Amino acid sequence: MPADTSSASLDEIDRGVLRRFDVTRKLGKGAYGIVWQATDRKSKQKVALKKSFDAFQNSTDAQRTYREVNICRMLHPHENIIGLLLVLKADNDRDLYMIFDYMDTDLHAAIRAEILEEVHKQYITWQLFRALKYMHSAGLVHRDIKPANLLLDGDCLMKSYDFSTDMWAAGCVLAEMYKGKTCFSGTNTLGQLDQIFLLLGWPSEEAIANLHSPFTRSMLEACGGEPSPEKQAAAWAELASIISNELAVDLLKRLLVVDPCARLSASSALEHEYVAPFHDPPKETSASFIAELKIDDNVKKTTANYREELYATLLPQEKDKAYRDRSTPGKNAPDYRRTSVVA
């Protein structure tokens, strides 16, 4: 992507932020914000600078912002979870700046570029399980695991970004690394379900009960019907011929299971032979806490409640200390010099 450091681009950033960060280029822009590559003028650390527009526009957006900031801070530092290094108020009191680890690319781009060797796929899978074990042990579910949210650096170091469903998604990511395209690419929901059942078979009564959804039976009735065992076997044979790694196929069969109670947990997945070359229990830690937000996430508060509580925890001296601690490699912080890609 060509560098975008035009005056029009820089005009979107508050002067106080520009005094602290040297903005190199715009990485992307969406409906809710912009992300730039930047360098801290003091530490010379490369970072991703995200500006969230109207972060407190309504109670739903304010709750989402409050949740994202606090959960990212709880999970940091973990080598495979993107680090939120600093949060800054915007001058207009509506937007919010978040400074993250900078990563070079994401898994989606790496898959499309067809640059992943077998060992890379195993290493990325191990790191994904490692991140999920840590999050799950803290009582958190990601809910949006996909290649574009798995960031990579030049050493293939992976970080999970954004935050039983996660393990299904992990299986889909593994399959996509081998297929080079989405695992179940139906043109609509029912078409996607037909593809899933063609590979995995029709769900049992126990699986239906374990899905805990009032819509399961009506969705099944709308599908194309139960595939024959022959068609299911042929679907697996086709997938296995693409993957050409028996251990990867075995792992997929334990992750891509319709019954959520029958899927591997992150902890169990780390013990699978497919990731054995990287399996290292001392590095596959659980969180020492259960994530809890000061404002109950099940109770919707006012926009002002979320904004005031967030600002109260982001006093300048606390922010500066946290940033210094987290941006200096040491025994309690990851070495950010290794993280030049994104997840």
CA dist., res. 187 & res. 302, Å (int): 39
Does 50 appear as a known binding residue?
yes
| Closest-CA residue to 291 (of 69, 64, 70) | 70
Residues 171, 134, 100, 177, Cα dihedral to 10°? -20
Dihedral pair phi/psi, residue 137, rounded to 5°: -70, -20
Measured CA to CA, the distance from residue 195 to residue 178 in angstroms comes to 17
Distances (CA, A) of 245 to 112, 118, 121, 281: 20, 9, 11, 24
Dist CA 306 CA 322 (whole Å): 21
Catalytic residue from among 4, 22, 144, 259 = 144
Query: Residue 32: how many CA atoms within 13 Å on its side-chain side?
Result: 11
Question: What phi, psi does 257 have (nearest 5°)?
Answer: -125, 130
Residues 250, 233: Cα–Cα separation, whole Å: 14
144 is catalytic: yes
For 29, other C-beta atoms within 10 Å of its C-beta total: 15
Local structure of residue 299 (DSSP, 8 states)? S
Chain Cα centroid distance, residue 73? 15
- Does residue 18 sit in helix, strand or coil? helix
Question: Coil, helix or strand for 91?
Answer: coil
Structure tokens at 266: 């992150």
Give the up-direction half-sphere exposure of residue 54: CA atoms within 13 A in the CB hemisphere.
Answer: 8
Give the C-alpha separation, 118 to 343, whole Å. Answer: 18
Token readout for 59 is: 């109670």
Residues annotated within a binding site for ATP: 50
Q: Which residues are annotated as a binding site?
A: 50
* Catalytic machinery residues: 144
